[in-house]
Structure 1
């Protein structure tokens, strides 16, 4: 009889423990989702900061924002990917971080722009993974030069040739 009563208490205790674990996980999940969305927003904001600094030809601001982008992008963890997709995304992240770090230490605005061309191409490939919900993003292209960049507006502001071709470009994709 004692064993029977003990077994009942153990089962009840396990049920209560499972209920508490599920409740805790359910409470934590929305907070983690919120933090992940905030990091995605920060990454996109940093990228756009690099682009916008190049539009106004501010190499110091470009360098500072590229450093922030690299640091925040390094914190980002890819989720729900196959092994092959994870390997590709990890390789892309490493390359994108290296490009951002190179932009941060580039000796001239022209060098920053050349590096940004490469960064933008690689970033667009994984944009679905880092794009925050409810934030439309556009891949834009200067048809004369073939360079691309990402924008959060359809309005064209060419970061590569702002003096001569500020409005030269077109939206070629949308996410």
Structure 2
């Protein structure tokens, strides 16, 4: 009886330990990479090249040019958030507004994109990005004509509430945490 309880405790401990190791937080490999900045940069460059190759292969087409441009700028914004580049986020947001032209004043997506203009705090930008993502979902689903969009999810975003974003690649590049938890997330849905 005692041996059975001991075995159960050991199994439960091992299970709990494996869950901790597979969570979205930093793992040992990432910590090892961070200890040598040059090695981290080379590793990051290789990942960026892989992402660029994968992005080239997964071009998405939409039924109209406006949504095509909006999605392109959304991806640029997502990538800028991954790099914590607040200026790049603002530039992409301005291009989203410009894509709607005169209709921008009455368009929910353009109105959300306009909110980036005066915000340089990356955390506030990530908040607005969440709102923009929610507004884009029905538009993307309705307008896609060819290719795939990956709806991705991070359970750790916004204090554990979790949140979504869209990508043209299955590869996870988390816009809510950037390099702190670059690969935290999973593909929740594939939109075709």
Q: Normalising by structure 2, report the TM-score.
A: 0.59
Q: Which residue of 2 aligns with 1:135?
A: 147
CA distance in 1, matches of 2:165, 2:102: 23
Structure number with larger C-alpha Rg? 1
1:67-106 deviation digits (Å, cap 9, x = unpaired): 1012214578xxxxxxxxxxxxx9xx72221110101321
Question: Which residue, 89, 94, 99 being the options, matches 1:67?
Answer: 94
8 Å Cα contact 1:62-1:104 kept in structure 2:
no
The alignment's TM-score, normalised by the length of structure 1, stands at 0.64
Matches within 5 A, 1:67-106: 67-74=94-101, 94-106=107-119
Preserved CA contact (<8 Å) 1:124 1:139: no
Q: Does 1:47 align with 2:60?
A: no
Q: What is the SS of the residue equivalent to 1:126?
A: helix
Change (3 A) 1:61 1:155: same
- SS across alignment from 1:160: coil
Higher fraction of strand: 2
CA distance in 2, matches of 1:138, 1:35: 15
* Aligned-partner Cα distance in 2 for 1:68–1:98: 12
Question: Is the CA contact 2:62–2:143 (under 8 Å) kept in the aligned structure 1?
Answer: no
Q: After TM superposition, where is structure 1 displaced by more than 2 Å over at least 4 residues in a row?
A: 34-41, 73-76
What is the deviation of 1:164?
Answer: 1.7
Mark the runs of 5 or more structure 2 residues left unpaired by the alignment: 1-60
Which has the larger displacement, 96-105 or 61-70? Answer: 96-105
1:42-78 residue CA offsets vs partner (Å, 9 max, x unmatched): 22111101111111111111101101012214578xx
C-alpha deviations, 1:18-52, integer Å up to 9, x for none? xxxxxxxxxxxxxxxx9954433222111101111
Q: Gapped runs of 5+ residues in structure 1?
A: 1-33, 77-89
How many residue pairs end up in the alignment?
126
